Amino acid sequence: MAIQTPNGFTLDTSGERVVVDPVTRIEGHMRCEVNVNSDNIITNAVSTGTMWRGLEVILKNRDPRDAWAFVQRICGVCTGTHALTSCRAVEDALGIEIPDNANSIRNIMQLSLEIHDHLVHFYHLHALDWVNPINALKADPRDTSALQKATSPRHPKSSPGYFRDIQNRLKKFVESGQLGPFKNGYWDNPAYLLPPEADLMAVTHYLEALDFQKEIMKTRTIFGGKDPHPNWLVGGVPCPINIDGEGSVGAINMESLNHVRSIINQTIEFVDNVYIPDIIAIGKIYYDAGWHYGGGISGTDALAYGDIPDKPNDFSAKNLMMPRGAIIKGNLNEVHEVDHRDPEQIQEFVPHSWYKYDDESKGLHPWDGVTDPNYELGPKTVGTRTNIKQLDEAAKYSWIKAPRWRGNAMEVGPLSRYLVGYASKHTEFTDQITDTLGALGNAPVSALFTTIGRTAARALEAQWCSYKQRYFLDKMIANIKAGDQTTANTESWDPSTWPKEARGVGFTEAPRGALAHWIRIKDQKIENYQCVVPTTWNGSPRDNEGNIGAFEASLMNTKVERPHEPVEILRTIHSFDPCLACSTHVMGPDGEELAKVKVR
């Protein structure tokens, strides 16, 4: 009955099958099925992307300068990261170099996205996997006050009265019987381990974070005009700098730079005094209780492309402030080079995805990517094609393809970036990791390779990003002081200056992990556009060799308290911050053949 996967997992489908669909508190639509044995241990996991939009075929024959706006709509949560990736891909194809100020502004915008995304993810998508708001009603506000002062002495909101007010508001909310987003939660499940005073502190910060998050993104409104979905520009950024001339009031000037600085300072304060202490406090309670599940392939196979170029237009590992490289088979002594242009490195497989290749035993590099949708269900499916009760994972079972790096299933995201940074002995990351392990009670490095570690890495990264925003604001101001107010390079704006054919790659580290776009331009139009996105890596189904992806691997061998209440499943899946709208839109050059969908 048991199957051994090449990447080291034993899959056993003999136990009871549990289905979670929809998986909520994620971006987009996803389904998860697991088998649970008589000891309530997960012995098989199946993750399915349940939406597909086909954006790249829509991009065909459009103006490459417009592409950023289309692909930005791949995701409104990680809004902007696709747009930035697209600008970089077009600039790479056309050999456009952006000005120094544009690099600083883009970095500030990208960093603010990372921080916002991580913060909202933890408090508003992930917290309810750890925090029980109903249990918070039992807290003595004085205990919460004492806990707050102990975990974060610098946070000003810590009086017993403050927590009592929040508790009263919560109490009245619960007593109304109209629980809104908390309705039908699993509030008596023993998987929730926090004492009431910690639950009350966390619920309070859920509300504080909801109020505060809207401030973080205002840097993007200043530079990009709106948020979500600010504006970008191939060749630089659209916002001009006019520091002291006529019309300065309508451009980036001293007032707007001061505003940006104020937002950056507030962000640093919130992350330092609320987010990080909460993660340590909650993480330690669960870690000390022995809840060490969810590692999957995080400690063995990690991929990061790197991001945040210090100098503009240099995407080499040493110029990227976010780490770049690949770790395979758990060997932290070797960080492999990653080359997006090498056809042997990044390939996508489809034997378990609802797409068709001529030869499905092979993977295809994104330059040569093909996407021919092929929605068909395996013979062991329970239900019908429009009412699926149980999937057959031996056949096709997801709208997500299976990307692999040199044949390996890889995890991407903040934890992978931190692992690559750690293995690269980059002190900014090793210091943060050492401090965190110390705060967890001198935990070993293996503590990172857990659901807790994945969630903690995201918080550490938010902190790193909040300080790097300040670095780039200072850098930009120094550059302006030195006389450079340029924000756009328009030399190649006119398509008549372009070569007849060109191709390029752009990449970023999206909040959820490594993201790259591949573009081919022909006769001034997009000939082909391919995106391989973070959740495609993490949420991938099995490949031709039978390797399971990061989501599925992370659920393996987890003990669930109550098999029919998916608290632990949600906790671990959420620790990746899944983004399904991102992952399930991949489209190839044959896209116009879509009418010929084949269904068994």
Partner 1 sequence: METFYDVMRRQGITRRSFLKYCSLTAAALGLGPSFAPKIAHAMETKERIPVLWLHGLECTCCSESFIRSAHPLAKDVVLSMISLDYDDTIMAAAGHEAEAIIEEIVTKYKGKYLLAVEGNPPLNEDGMYCIIGGKPFTDQLTYASQHAKAIISWGSCASWGCVQAARPNPTRATPVHKVPGIGNKPIIKVPGCPPIAEVMTAVVTYILTFERFPELDRQGRPKMFYSQRIHDKCYRRPHFDAGQFVEKWDDEGAKKGYCLYKMGCKGPTTYNACSTVRWNGGLSFPIQAGHGCIGCSEDGFWDKGGFYDRLTDIHQFGIEANADEIGVGAATVVGAAAAAHAAVSAVKQARTKGDND
Structural tokens at position 78: 């990680």
DSSP 32: E
* Distance in Å, CB of 344 to partner 1, minimum: 30
- Are 81 and 463 spatial neighbours (Cβ–Cβ below 8 Å)? no
Q: Which is nearer to partner 1, 304 or 581 (CB)?
A: 581
* Distance in Å, CB of 49 to partner 1, minimum: 9
Q: Which is nearer to partner 1, 236 or 421 (CB)?
A: 236
Residue 136: C-alpha distances to residues 99, 132, 204, 385 (Å): 51, 7, 10, 43
Closest CA to 397 of 517, 289, 552, 270: 552
Q: What residues contact 185, with CB distance under 8 A and at least 6 apart?
A: 128, 133, 134, 179
Largest separation between any pair of C-alpha atoms in the chain: 76
E strand or H helix at 19, and its extent? Answer: strand 16-20
Q: Which is nearer to partner 1, 212 or 464 (CB)?
A: 212
The CA distance from 126 to 459, in Å, is: 12
Cβ burial 9-27 (10 Å sphere, 16+ → b, else e) = bebebebebbebeebebbb
* Distance in Å, CB of 441 to partner 1, minimum: 30
Q: Which is nearer to partner 1, 252 or 437 (CB)?
A: 252
Q: Which is nearer to partner 1, 7 or 167 (CB)?
A: 167
Q: Which is nearer to partner 1, 149 or 169 (CB)?
A: 169
Q: Which is nearer to partner 1, 172 or 500 (CB)?
A: 172
* Distance in Å, CB of 385 to partner 1, minimum: 7
E strand or H helix at 478, and its extent? Answer: helix 451-481
Structural tokens at position 409: 């299933």
* Distance in Å, CB of 466 to partner 1, minimum: 19
Which residue matches tokens 């948020």?
227
* Distance in Å, CB of 356 to partner 1, minimum: 14
* Distance in Å, CB of 229 to partner 1, minimum: 6
- Rounded to 5 degrees, φ, ψ at 503 are -145, 150
* Distance in Å, CB of 326 to partner 1, minimum: 29
Q: Which is nearer to partner 1, 323 or 566 (CB)?
A: 566
- Are 112 and 461 spatial neighbours (Cβ–Cβ below 8 Å)? no
